[in-house]
Amino acid sequence: MPVAVIESLDHEGRGIARCDGKAIFIEGGLPGERVEYSTFRSRPSYEQANLSRVLRASAQRVAPLCPHFGTCGGCSMQHVEIGTQLATKQRILEDALWHIAKLEPGLVLPTIDGPAWAYRSRARLGVCVVPRLGGVLVGFHEKRSSYIADMLSCPILPPRISGLLPELRELIAGLTHPDRVPQVELAVGDGKTVLVVRTLVSFNSRDIKRLTDFGERHGLSMWSQPGGPATAKPLAAGEPAVLQYSLPEFDVRFHFRPTDFTQVNVEVNRLLMRRAMQLLDPRPGERIADLFCGLGNFSLPIARLGARVIGVEGSEALVQRAAANAKLNGLEARCEFSVANLFEATAQSLNKLGHLDKMLIDPPREGAIAVVKALAEGRPRRIVYVSCNPSTLARDAAILVREKGYRLAAAGVANMFPQTSHVESIAVFEQYEAGARD
Ligand SMILES: C[S@@+](CC[C@H](N)C(=O)[O-])C[C@H]1O[C@@H](n2cnc3c(N)ncnc32)[C@H](O)[C@@H]1O
């Protein structure tokens, strides 16, 4: 078995070693470690490998908490001490900004951190009938595979949901058509937890009774979803089809449906919101755009602080939810929301939003290249960019700095997804002149 010494970690948390000028990406290896590895993909300039044995362990190595670590594709950094995970994510962000955009933030922001485990308030679990493995599997996908992992617990889920996984498997196995149930979605709101069971056939009355009895036994609200996300509804007659979460610091609450986009980590979302509002510093009289606004997660705190918000979002359903949430909080007079495909933003479409003092951008992984390209030079004077992909953030940052007259004033990470290699970050761009005056 070949042996290598790991030099560093890549952006997916894999150890990188070098052998005869070739990079070897070794899953599970940590910097400084001497390891045996087995290659599963070989290319002329690199190899991908699994770690077989640690010959000299790093002081940062810890025992993974989850028995499914290594098989389940959900978390790949459980073997790394949590402080080192955060430091690695900070380095991944800074490396992306440097290698892709040749940028260094003026200030590296303190990292935002929350609970290391049991943090997921949302999850989409795949379901698969595998008689050879004893019936029905419910879980995340296996690493590099479309198979569902054979999971009996999951320490990043709320403990009571993790503890229910074996019973959930039995529940689905006992339905009339378990092979027609491809997925179960979890959504935790204030005081209410929903499981949405996706089904390709209608549940009969026996199935509905089984599911609702399970819900009653475990204090869960059981929903069915026979088609697209809009078809999800509670199985119990008369139950309100809505959940709620709140941001007490800004005295706002949000209604949402379990299939809506919401941030997965409630505590980190609250801290991220505090940081975003400190950086954006909304003031009465200002007009602030919230692009990719979803159901108004950032919009309502901005409005609560006195600014006028112009929210834009691609999903019609979420725009409706954002408007209803503004009303729910008595903030409708300061909010306007519209639907647009921001991947096709143009100078004209941004102009239509009117004068903007500041902007918050929170795009999906693809980033916001059309938006940053369409910005007119000189405005808005400050942009706070929340990103779930350092590569697209760095790409967009290069345009903001090289073509649009901004400087990268600050950037830092938020540990939204502990134990995984996903990097959530926040960056602030200031127009040069405004920055110089501040
Ligand atoms: C990372 S989420 C952020 C949502 C919201 N800011 C929040 O914190 O809950 C990205 C949002 O972008 C929206 N989106 C995705 N593609 C889009 C597009 N092409 N145009 C506009 N919005 C889009 C999604 O529907 C989603 O609400």
Asked if 170 and 269 sit in the same domain, the reply is no
Asked which of 126-130, 324-328, 383-387 is least confident by mean pLDDT, the reply is 126-130
The CATH number that applies at residue 217 is 2.40.50.1070
Per-residue pLDDT band at 4 (split at 50, 70, 90): very high
Cβ atoms of 401 and 96 within 8 Å: the answer is no
Q: What is the pLDDT of residue 131?
A: 81
Q: What is the pLDDT of residue 178?
A: 95
Q: What is the pLDDT of residue 359?
A: 98
DSSP string spanning 384-404?
A: EEEES-HHHHHHHHHHHHHTS
- Ligand 1 centroid distance, CA of 361 (Å): 9
Query: Who contacts 110 (Cβ-Cβ below 8 Å, separation ≥6)?
Result: 412
Per-residue pLDDT band at 435 (split at 50, 70, 90): very low
pLDDT digits (tens, 9 = 90+) for 309-334: 999 999 999 999 999 999 999 999 99
Residue 438 reports pLDDT greater than 50: no
- Ligand 1 centroid distance, CA of 398 (Å): 22
Q: How far is the CA of 252 from the CAs of 112, 336, 359, in angstroms?
A: 21, 17, 20
Per-residue pLDDT band at 379 (split at 50, 70, 90): confident
Query: Who contacts 394 (Cβ-Cβ below 8 Å, separation ≥6)?
Result: 96, 97, 99, 100, 101, 103
Query: Which residue out of 253, 262, 292, 366 has the highest number of ligand 1 atoms within 8 Å of its CB and is therefore the one to mutate?
Result: 292
Asked if 219 and 238 sit in the same domain, the reply is yes
Residue 433 reports pLDDT greater than 70: no
Q: Which domain-ending residue is among 46, 61, 76?
A: 61
Average pLDDT over residues 278-306: 98
Average pLDDT over residues 133-141: 88
Active site residue 388: yes
- Sheet with 424-431, edge to edge strand ranges: 107-108, 406-414, 424-431, 382-387, 358-361, 287-291, 308-313, 335-339
Asked if 282 and 424 sit in the same domain, the reply is yes
Asked if 323 and 283 sit in the same domain, the reply is yes
Q: What is the pLDDT of residue 21?
A: 86
Which domain does 15 fall in, by range? 3-61
Average pLDDT over residues 207-226: 97
Nearest CA residue ID for atom 5, ligand 1: 294
Q: Comparing C-alpha atoms, which of 206, 211, 210 is closest to residue 221? A: 211
Q: Is 251 inside a domain boundary?
A: no
430 vs 400: CA distance, rounded Å: 10
Q: How far is the CA of 373 from the CAs of 202, 370, 410, in angstroms?
A: 47, 5, 21
Asked if 388 and 306 sit in the same domain, the reply is yes
For ligand 1, which residues put their CB under 6 angstroms from it? 261-263, 292-294, 297-298, 313-315, 318, 341-343, 362-364
Q: Residue 264 carries which side chain, given as an amino acid letter?
A: V
Asked if 311 and 360 sit in the same domain, the reply is yes
The CATH number that applies at residue 28 is 2.40.50.140
- Ligand 1 centroid distance, CA of 341 (Å): 10
Asked if 126 and 151 sit in the same domain, the reply is yes
Q: What is the pLDDT of residue 67?
A: 92
Q: Is 150 inside a domain boundary?
A: yes
β partners of residue 412: 426
Q: Is 280 inside a domain boundary?
A: yes
In the block, residue with structure tokens 């705190």 = 301
Structure token pair of residue 323: 């408007």
Asked if 385 and 433 sit in the same domain, the reply is yes
29 vs 249: CA distance, rounded Å: 41
Average pLDDT over residues 100-129: 97
pLDDT digits (tens, 9 = 90+) for 146-167: 899 989 999 999 999 999 999 9
Q: What is the pLDDT of residue 378?
A: 64
Q: What is the pLDDT of residue 396?
A: 98
Q: Is 70 inside a domain boundary?
A: no
Q: Is 183 inside a domain boundary?
A: yes
Q: Comparing C-alpha atoms, which of 234, 232, 221 is closest to residue 198? A: 232
Nearest CA residue ID for atom 26, ligand 1: 294
Residues counted in the chain: 438
Residue 392 reports pLDDT greater than 60: yes
- Ligand 1 centroid distance, CA of 16 (Å): 33
Structure token pair of residue 368: 């916001």
Q: Which domain-ending residue is among 194, 209, 243?
A: 243
Average pLDDT over residues 248-256: 98
Nearest CA residue ID for atom 17, ligand 1: 314
Q: Which domain-ending residue is among 213, 243, 273?
A: 243
Cβ atoms of 77 and 421 within 8 Å: the answer is yes
pLDDT, the chain, mean: 95
219 vs 235: CA distance, rounded Å: 14
287 vs 285: CA distance, rounded Å: 7
Q: Is 203 inside a domain boundary?
A: yes
The CATH number that applies at residue 287 is 3.40.50.150
Asked if 329 and 426 sit in the same domain, the reply is yes
Which atom of ligand 1 sits closest to the CA of residue 292? 12
Per-residue pLDDT band at 264 (split at 50, 70, 90): very high
Give me the torsion for CA of 214, 195, 254, 227, rounded to 10°.
-130
- Ligand 1 centroid distance, CA of 57 (Å): 41
Q: Is 71 inside a domain boundary?
A: no
Taking the chain, what is the end-to-end CA distance rounded to the nearest angstrom? Answer: 59
Q: Within 10 Å of residue 161's Cβ, how many Cβ atoms?
A: 22
Number of structural domains (the chain) is 3
Per-residue pLDDT band at 427 (split at 50, 70, 90): very high
Q: What is the pLDDT of residue 47?
A: 96
Q: Is 322 inside a domain boundary?
A: yes
Per-residue pLDDT band at 70 (split at 50, 70, 90): confident
Structure token pair of residue 19: 């052998």
Asked if 36 and 127 sit in the same domain, the reply is no
Asked if 307 and 387 sit in the same domain, the reply is yes
Asked if 269 and 414 sit in the same domain, the reply is yes
Which atom of ligand 1 sits closest to the CA of residue 360? 6
Query: Which residue out of 254, 260, 261 has the highest number of ligand 1 atoms within 8 Å of its CB and is therefore the one to mutate?
Result: 261
